[in-house]
Amino acid sequence: MTLKIGITGGIGSGKTTVCKIFELLGIPVFYADAEARELMNTDKDLMRQLAVAFGTTAFSASGSLDRKYIADIVFQDADALRLLNNLVHPAVFRAFDAWVTNQRNAPYILKEAALLFESDSYKMCDYSVLVKSPTDLKIQRVMQRDKISAADVQLRMDRQLSDDQKQPLASFTLINDEKQLLIPQVLKLHEQFISMNPLLA
């Protein structure tokens, strides 16, 4: 059985950067958030549920999801965000299960998800990794990346568990503070995960 490792971190923590390093080491990565965006435009059942929940104006004339329209709603309304997650997460879980069956030759696989703990999807993994960064650095990164204000970044952060809340659920932690070298930390974890695979022991 393939060893499954969940990897998460707050917005702007650099978890995608970490995953890219693992990919360079030959490790397959399932990007749950990217998959969710794809499914919201391709999964007919999910699209129908979204239209019922948020109105047909949630989709453009071409049939694609208006992500800004949805974001403007859910980042202002906790109940709406909860509803969105309750619709999208099951579809992503099914996609992950299907993806895992095609990764039999990898020593282990990674599932990258911003809401790994919030969605309980860490329970589908054998271990979990938390990528941590200082709050001010995360805000700076997201402002630069998404061209949004610090207040908007903070609003998104407030919709996720804090690092302190995530820490007890994490099996391992990586520090991405631009002071400690990141690649050696990833290499150390990579070696640990390979040694933890009973088929390779």
Quick one: pLDDT at residue 61?
84
| CA pair distance 32, 4, nearest whole angstrom | 14
Over residues 3-20, the pLDDT tens digits come to 999 999 999 999 999 999
Alpha helices in 3-149 (DSSP H): 15-24, 32-42, 44-54, 67-74, 78-100, 135-146
| CA pair distance 162, 157, nearest whole angstrom | 8
| CA pair distance 179, 7, nearest whole angstrom | 21
Beta carbons of 59 and 51 less than 8 angstroms apart = yes
If you search the block for the tokens 């391992």, which residue do you land on?
172
Over residues 94-149, the pLDDT tens digits come to 999 999 999 988 999 999 999 999 989 999 999 999 999 999 999 999 999 999 99
Quick one: pLDDT at residue 198?
65
How many of the other CB atoms lie within 10 Å of CB of 144? 10
Beta carbons of 85 and 119 less than 8 angstroms apart = yes
Tell me the pLDDT band of 201, cut-offs 50, 70 and 90: low
